[in-house]
Structure 1
Amino acid sequence: MTGPEVLALYAQESLSTTGLQGWIQNNIVPLVLLAIAIILLWIGGRGDNAGVARRSVGLLIGLVALGIAVSGNGPQIGNFLASLLVG
C-alpha cells in the first residue's frame, strides 16, 4: 500500500470530531460559564441590578441554545415546538 492509500483507509475508519467536541464541552463551556458569572457579579457589584437582569435574560436564552446544540436533541426539540404551534 502506498502512503495515500493508508491515509485514506485510516481516515475512513477512525477520524471523527468526537474528541474535539468532548474537549470543547469539558474545557471551553465551563470557562465561558465562569466568565459570564464573574461579569454578572462585577456588574452587580457596581449597583446596576437592572443591567444584570437585562443581561441575564439574554444569557439564559443563549445557554438554552448552547444546551440544545451540545445535547444533539435539536430536531426533537424543534418538532416539539412546532407541534405546540401547529397542533
Structure 2
Amino acid sequence: MTGPEALAHYAQGLTTNGLQGWIQDNVVPLVLLGIAIILLWIGGRGDNAGVARRSVGLLVGLVALGIAVSGNGPQIGNFLASLLVG
C-alpha cells in the first residue's frame, strides 16, 4: 500500500480519546483553579455581590462543561424536554 490507500488505512485507527483524556485530566482542573483564584481575589476586595453574580454564571458554565465531558447530553436533553412536553 502506498499513497492514499496507506493514509486511509492508517486513519481508520485514529481517535481523539487521548486528547480528550488529556484535556479532562489537565486543562479542566487548571481552569477551575483559575476561577477559584479570581473569585477569591474579587471577594478579598469586599465585592461580595460581584462574587455572587459571577458565581451563578460560573455554575451554569460548569454544568454545561460537566454535560459535555460526561457524554450524557442526549439523555439530559430528553429529560429536560420531557419536563416541558410531558
- Shorter-chain TM-score above 0.5: yes
**Alignment deviations for residues 11-69 of structure 1 (CA, whole Å, 9 cap, x no partner):** 11x10111111111111100000000000000000000000000000000000000000
Unpaired stretches in structure 2, ≥5 consecutive residues: none
1:9 and 2:6 aligned: no
Q: Percent identity?
A: 90
RMSD between aligned residues: 0.8
- Work out the CA distance in 1 between the residues paired with 2:77 and 2:60: 15
Taking the aligned partners of 1:2 and 1:82, their CA distance within structure 2 comes to 50
Output the CA distance in 2 between the equivalents of 1:68 and 1:18. Answer: 17
**1:65-76 alignment, distance < 5 Å:** 65-76=64-75
Q: How many residues are aligned here?
A: 86
Say whether 1:18 aligns with 2:24. Answer: no
